[in-house]
Every structure is written in structure tokens, then in C-alpha cells.
Amino acid sequence: MFDDRELWKQISAGNADAFETWYGETAPRLRSFLHHLTGSEPAADDLMQETYTYIWRRPDGFDPDRGTLRAWLYGIARKQAAQWWRKQRPADPLPDDRPARALAETNSILADAFNRLPPDDRALLWLREVEGHSYAELAAMLDVPIGTVRSRLFAAREALRDVWHSPAPMKGGRS
């Protein structure tokens, strides 16, 4: 098991085997992140490929002194997802394959609520709650002060809490 510095040394030297090993270790979780961020498995797969290709093509891109390789990976993926969202036309139906999956597989009301949050809130909450990135890492990823990370996380949690606790739409008239 390499530490970030040694692993990156191998990758930046063009060691495709090391890169593919790292891909195998990190891709499943990154894909999950991108899937929940975009709502589309094909989009998640495309963005994941673009993310790793981006990294592979930039042997100068990562500086071990400025953070972890995993934080850098997720930062790039988040940006790729943000670009993807910008390309979605407002008139396009959202490519959302999550609700069916949420009901069929996750059976989670909260997951459904999460998927209705704005993408930025989703990304931030996921990176914090699931991936466990520190405030400092999130600040570096988002290029904002740590205080802003704290306030944005709070806002995202409140948004999720509101959606989670909002009553389901009533069917029929009032009794």
C-alpha cells in the first residue's frame, strides 16, 4: 500500500499499473458520489472516466503538500459534475434514475429527499458525511474559507431536513 506521495510518484511517472490499481480502489465510491450528484448512471460513468483521464493526463497536477490524493480526486470529480450540470438545458428533463432505485434498493426516504437538493448541497453533504473530508479539505476543494464550508454545510443540512420532514403530498380532500 503506497502513501499518496509514493503513489503519485508512480502515477506521474506513467506507471499505468499503479494508476489502474488506484482506480480499482477508488472508483466504486467515486461513481456512487457522481451518481448521486447527477442522478444518472451513464453520466456518472462518463464523468468518472473523464475525471480519471484528466488526472492521468496531468502528471504535474497533484501536489502532495497541498492535500490528499483522494481529496484532489473528489475535487476534480465535483468540478466535472458541475460542468455537466451547466450543460444540462433547463428544458431538458432531469436524467434521474434514482427514485426508482431509491425505492427498489435503498428504501430510504432520506435518500429521496437528498436527491431533491440542489447539486451543490448534495456534493457538499456527500463529501462531508460519506467521504469524511475535513473542513480544511472541503475549503481547498471549493476554494472558500473554512467558515464558509461550515455555513454551507449547515444550510445544506437544513435544506435536507426541511425536505425530509416536509409532509408527503396529501391525496384527496381535507376531512
Partner 1 sequence: MTAMPHCEDAAEYVSALADGETIPSPFAQHIGACTACQARLHHYLAMGAELRRVASLDADQPVPALSIEKRRTTRSVWKKGLETMRIPKYAFALLVLAVVVLASSLTVIKVGAHSSGSVLMLKLTGPDGVSHQCFIDTTRKDYPCGMFGQMGGDSVGLMFRVQSRDEDRIQLGVQSKAYPIGTPEANHMGDSVVDNLPQVQYSFEVGQVLKIDIEGLGALSIAGEWTDHVPVLPEQGANHLDPAPDQVRILSPLLLKDNQVVGDMEGGMTEVDGRSQVVWVNYENVGRFLICSGPMKGAIQATSFLNRVSFRIDGHTYVMVTGAPVSRSEKLWVLYQPDFGVPDGTNTFITEGDLKQIAPEAVLPENQPRK
Q: Please spell the DSSP secondary structure of 26-94, one letter per residue.
A: HHHHHHHHHHHHHS-HHHHHHHHHHHHHHHHT-TTS--GGGS-HHHHHHHHHHHHHHHHHHHS-TTSPP
Which residue, 92 or 139, has its beta carbon nearer to partner 1?
A: 139
The residue count for the chain: 175
Q: CA 88, CA 3: separation in Å to the nearest integer?
A: 38
Q: CB of 159: closest distance to partner 1 in angstroms?
A: 11
Which residue, 13 or 86, has its beta carbon nearer to partner 1?
A: 13
Between CA 72 and CA 23, with CA 4 as vertex, the angle to 5 degrees is: 65
Helix, strand, coil % over all residues of the chain, rounded to 5 = 70, 0, 30
Q: CB of 175: closest distance to partner 1 in angstroms?
A: 29
Which residue, 20 or 68, has its beta carbon nearer to partner 1?
A: 20
Which residue, 83 or 108, has its beta carbon nearer to partner 1?
A: 108
Which residue, 48 or 75, has its beta carbon nearer to partner 1?
A: 48
Q: CB of 109: closest distance to partner 1 in angstroms?
A: 9
In the complex, the residues that contact partner 1 under the rule CB under 8 A are 12-14, 16, 19-20, 23-24, 27-29, 31-32, 35-36, 45, 48-49, 52-53, 56-57, 59-60, 102, 105-106, 108, 110-111, 114, 125-126, 128-130, 135, 150-151, 153-154, 157-158, 160-161, 164
Q: CA 5, CA 174: separation in Å to the nearest integer?
A: 63
Q: CB of 85: closest distance to partner 1 in angstroms?
A: 20
